[in-house]
Amino acid sequence: MIKVGIIGSTGYAGAELVRILTMHKEAEIVWYGSRSYIDRNYASVYQNMFKIVDAVCMDDNMEELAGQVDVIFTATPQGLCASLVSEEILSRVKIIDLSADFRIKDVSVYEKWYGITHKSPQFIGEAVYGLCEVNREDVKKARLVANPGCYTTCSILTAYPLAKEGLIDMGTLIIDAKSGTSGAGRGAKLPNLFCEVNENMKAYGIASHRHTPEIEEQLGYAAKEKVLVNFTPHLVPMNRGILATEYAKLTREVTYEEVKAVYDQYYGNEKFVRILERDVFPETKWVEGSNYMDVNFKIDGRTGRIIMVGAIDNLVKGAAGQAVQNMNLMFGLDEAEGLDLVPMFP
């Protein structure tokens, strides 16, 4: 039984880790970290866990935690994981960081977009970007995994095969993404009040959202060139779900079958990526509560562009589910253990 500690277990992503790991047959949570709710019963913070989780919230002490668990998940704001991690800790436990601290290889890019100084740049090199479908073999050997962001998971995987195979002109890629409100976290902020979000839709972080450089770096590796994209996130009045609609010029004339074959080549054997049937396009509800990513595309001969659409549950494949998928890989378990979650509809 793998012993798990969670730092930040009372945010929405942390709570989703708890939900998933509770159903995981080979892992057991032994530390529910939450700076805001120390000593409080976990189930009183998340009443859905009443009679399911019987534990009290603990502090963020990573050193003490390292002595008690096999793996630590950090589901905390940027900067915290980098400020706590050390060689001594990494020599004792594996770490899966759900924050952005170790996602971007160029520390100056990180510091510019996040506006903070990186406290542990020495570990950026070894950290593996935990997009399982892309970096599976590296994840298996990693001590420190940088779990991808929610928007980035969806944005990258939607375009990845075509970027990799050179079918799209990376200079023309535009990503218009829409997210449910759980992505904004559980902080009590006015813009996230029910009455401000319900019956409303808006773009935000235009040309400045922090997931931009992460997408650019990963798609740059795929395309083997420097990539700049327009990434625009939008807030949607729903709890969960991310839909990414992506546009790019095709580099040559292609048929549906050719493009389909490229997606199949990369995802045909992937359990968690479903290439939908022709002309069926992803809807967020079809993946809700599950670790699936649905994807499809449409060639527009009139404009010479391809439109790609991907959908995930931002808290599962976009956060906690992918983190558990990474844990499974790191510990040599069945990659899908604990993740056989059937999407809930309606």
129-188: which residues touch its own copies (CB under 8 A)? 172, 174, 176, 178, 180-182, 186, 188
Q: Find the part of the chain contacting its own copies (CB under 8 A) among 43-51, 60-68, 217-225, 325-333.
A: 43-51
- CB 118 to its own copies: min, Å: 22
**Residue count, binding to its own copies (CB under 8 A):** 83
Q: Per the structure block, which two tokens stand in for 27?
A: 């892992």
> Does 302 participate in binding its own copies (rule CB under 8 A)?
yes
> Does 251 participate in binding its own copies (rule CB under 8 A)?
no
Q: Per the structure block, which two tokens stand in for 201?
A: 């839709």
Are the beta carbons of 175 and 231 closer than 8 angstroms? yes
> Does 256 participate in binding its own copies (rule CB under 8 A)?
no
In angstroms, the CA 254 to CA 275 distance is 18
Are the beta carbons of 325 and 21 closer than 8 angstroms? no
Nearer to its own copies, 102 or 151 (CB): 151
Q: Find the part of the chain contacting its own copies (CB under 8 A) among 72-80, 108-116, 135-143, 229-237.
A: 229-237
Q: Among 31, 37, 46, 160, which residue sits at the site for its own copies (rule: CB under 8 A)?
A: 46
> Does 38 participate in binding its own copies (rule CB under 8 A)?
no
- CB 181 to its own copies: min, Å: 4
Phi, psi of 140 (to 5 degrees): -55, -30
- CB 151 to its own copies: min, Å: 14
- CB 53 to its own copies: min, Å: 9
Nearer to its own copies, 42 or 123 (CB): 42
- CB 16 to its own copies: min, Å: 9
**Which residues are bridge partners to 96 per DSSP?**
73, 145
Residue 32: name the closest of 48, 63, 67, 8 by CA.
Answer: 8
Q: Find the part of the chain contacting its own copies (CB under 8 A) among 62-70, 139-147, 156-164, 227-235.
A: 227-235
Nearer to its own copies, 86 or 281 (CB): 281
Q: Per the structure block, which two tokens stand in for 339?
A: 């993740």
Q: Find the part of the chain contacting its own copies (CB under 8 A) among 100-108, 159-167, 303-311, 321-329.
A: 303-311
Q: Is 154 a catalytic residue?
A: no
Nearer to its own copies, 38 or 203 (CB): 203
Q: How many CA atoms lie within 13 A of 49 on its CB side?
A: 23
> What does R_g of the chain's alpha carbons equal in angstroms?
20
Which residues in 54-113 contact its own copies (CB under 8 A)? none
> Does 232 participate in binding its own copies (rule CB under 8 A)?
yes
DSSP three-state, residue 77: coil
**Which residues are bridge partners to 139 per DSSP?**
none
> Does 253 participate in binding its own copies (rule CB under 8 A)?
no
Q: Which helix (H) or strand (E) holds 211?
A: helix 211-223
| Alpha-carbon distances, residue 24 vs 97, 140, 208, 253, 323 (angstroms) | 19, 19, 37, 46, 13
Are the beta carbons of 47 and 23 closer than 8 angstroms? no
Q: Per the structure block, which two tokens stand in for 54?
A: 């019987």
Q: Residue 343: is the preceding peptide bond cis (ω within 30°)?
A: no
Residues in Cβ contact with 64 at an 8 Å cutoff, skipping those fewer than 6 apart: none
> Does 243 participate in binding its own copies (rule CB under 8 A)?
yes
Catalytic residue among 57, 81, 132, 150: 150
> Does 240 participate in binding its own copies (rule CB under 8 A)?
yes
> Pattern of binders to its own copies over 190-209, x per CB under 8 A?
x-xxxxxxxxxxxxx-xx--
In angstroms, the CA 25 to CA 235 distance is 35
Task: Give the catalytic positions in this structure.
Answer: 150
